[in-house]
Amino acid sequence: MAAGASRVFVSHLAGIAVFDPNGDQVGRVRDVVVMLRDQPVGTGGDRPGGRPPGVLGLVVEVVSRRRVFLPMTRVTGVESGQVVTTGVVNMRRFEQRPTETLVLGELLDRQVTLVESGEPVTVLDVGVQQLTARRDWQIDKVFVRRGKGGALRRRGEALTVEWSAVTGFALEEKEQGAATLLAAYEQLRPADLANTLHHLSAKRRAEVAAALDDDRLADVLEELPEDDQVEIIGKLRDERAADVLEAMDPDDAADLLSELPEQDKERLLQLMRPQDAAPVRRLLSYEEGTAGNMMTTEPIVLQPDDTVADALARVRNADLSPPLAAQVFVCRPPDETPTGRYLGVVHFQRLLRDPPFTLVGSIVDTDLRPLPPETTLPSVSSHLAAYNIVAAPVVDEGGHLLGAVTVDDVLDHLLPDDWREAAAERLPGSVQLSAEGGARDAG
């Protein structure tokens, strides 16, 4: 560690960059792996006064969100908001062993007990310290808040105590909070937070999902594998599950609901607001793997007397995905799907070339053939490739715009269900990375 920096709190490590000696970034820290020591067999409790847990290493997220194990003996410095390694990282996927504990994922927000007073406290953070020149590390401090759940009548007092001053880390906790864990991961994008949830235990996944607000959970669910989606939505109260489904994009909500038993699917649809359930029901009515089933029902729709300035204002919406923001669709009123008669599309590049006062009705591209909702997946992908476009309109027999199918929708259906995991397995070696050695080699 840097001179004078004898201790670091784990929450400060969350998300910081990991560099090799040449200054090339290897990845980012996602957790710290420790081994709880001196636990009496069969009791599940900690032995007060036992040796503090040794820090085995870091969970580092590298390219393609793959997580690997970095032994602390490979860490040469923790300073200035970064971790520096020897440059040799085992690229084998990290798999947590039964004897190992993840500090961020499992220790934060736990209810433990002060040994001296028997008072319950909540773990807010954990301090780790380097002991010797051999780079041995161990937990030495625990930052806690008095009062169960972090508060009594008022916000509880926070204090830092020695590891030996608390007990109960190994006890099973039925309702562990997640506020501190989420604070550590507050800046993560939905896809990265989804990857974090995927690697937690089912119990912690449910606890973290319960602590997320509806919009954040909806964004995260859209990035999770289907099995995790079904597991999480199944553990929410029905009313909360319906609220989260309302916050999801209709096509993602429809994909999730299609994985549920018919009675569960219908029950949740009934609990959703009619205006949110209607587009989801439309999507579910189309055969799986067709344009109608894959499309989003919320593309950018403008009327012909809207201007280029109006169109650009809609395109600037930060909540839109890049494929949806790449074009606007021009239709007669009403301008919500299913719309009035579909007139054509205006691509983003054309919007940039024309004066702001130009009417979009005067610059529509009518040559791009819309897709019927029953168009199959191979035909949709061929259509996007043939015309070098990232989204295509889906129009019914009456000429009404039903939605748009985007390239990311197509990729989600073309790739195998485990594509996220498979992509990580095929990850090529990077500069200073090594596939040699065991996952827990001290080396």
7-173: what CATH class? Answer: mainly beta
3 state SS of 60: strand
Strand-pair category, 17-19 with 82-85: parallel
Q: What is the pLDDT of residue 184?
A: 87
Structure tokens at 7: 């201790």
**Dihedral of CA 219/224/226/232: which sign?**
negative
* CATH number for the domain formed by residue range(s) 301-413: 3.10.580.10
- Is residue 139 within 8 Å of residue 112, measured between CB atoms? no
Report domain extents, the chain.
7-173, 179-285, 301-413
In the chain, the amino acid numbered 258 is S
Low-confidence ranges of the chain (pLDDT < 70): 1-6, 37-50, 133-134, 148-156, 417-443
Q: What is the pLDDT of residue 281?
A: 96
CA–CA separation, 240 vs 179, rounded Å? 18
Fold for 179-285, please state it: MgtE N-terminal fold (1.25.60)
Phi then psi dihedrals of residue 354, to 5 deg: -100, 155
CA–CA separation, 406 vs 390, rounded Å? 6
CA–CA separation, 60 vs 69, rounded Å? 6
**In a 10 Å sphere around its CB, with 0-12 CB exposed, 13-18 middle and 19+ buried, how is residue 173 labelled?**
middle
**DSSP single-letter state for residue 287:** P
CA nearest 152: which of 107, 122, 177, 172?
Answer: 122
pTM more than 0.85: no
CA–CA separation, 110 vs 149, rounded Å? 9
Find where tokens 């189309």 sit: 286
Q: What is the pLDDT of residue 417?
A: 67
CA nearest 334: which of 326, 342, 325?
Answer: 342
